[in-house]
Amino acid sequence: RERRGRRAKAMGRRERKIRSRRRNRRKNRRRTSTVTWKCLAIRCLWVTRLLLSRLRLCWLRRKI
């Protein structure tokens, strides 16, 4: 009984580890994709802000 229980436990742990790894891989892929999207959005916002500020400065200089 003891040997069977221990072996079963070990096998269960191994299976759990493999399953968790597979799940983690999927999660990691999703995380990376979301992070990249967020970074891209933030960068786009920053670029647009910088461009707008420069354009505003140019307009002000032209007006003055």
Query: Rounded distance, CA 22 to CA 26, Å?
Result: 7
pLDDT of residue 24: 66
- Nearest residue to 37 via CA among 8, 29, 9, 2: 29
Query: Rounded distance, CA 43 to CA 35, Å?
Result: 12
Q: Domains in the chain: how many in total?
A: 1
pLDDT digits (tens, 9 = 90+) for 10-41: 777 777 776 777 776 766 666 667 777 888 88
Token pair 């229980």: residue? 5
pTM tops 0.75, yes or no: no
**Residue type at position 32:** T
Q: For residue 47, how far is the Cα from the chain centroid?
A: 21
Q: In the predicted model, what is the mean pLDDT of the chain? A: 78
Q: Kindly indicate the confidence band of residue 2, based on its pLDDT and cuts at 50, 70 and 90.
A: low
Which domain range does residue 1 map to? 1-64
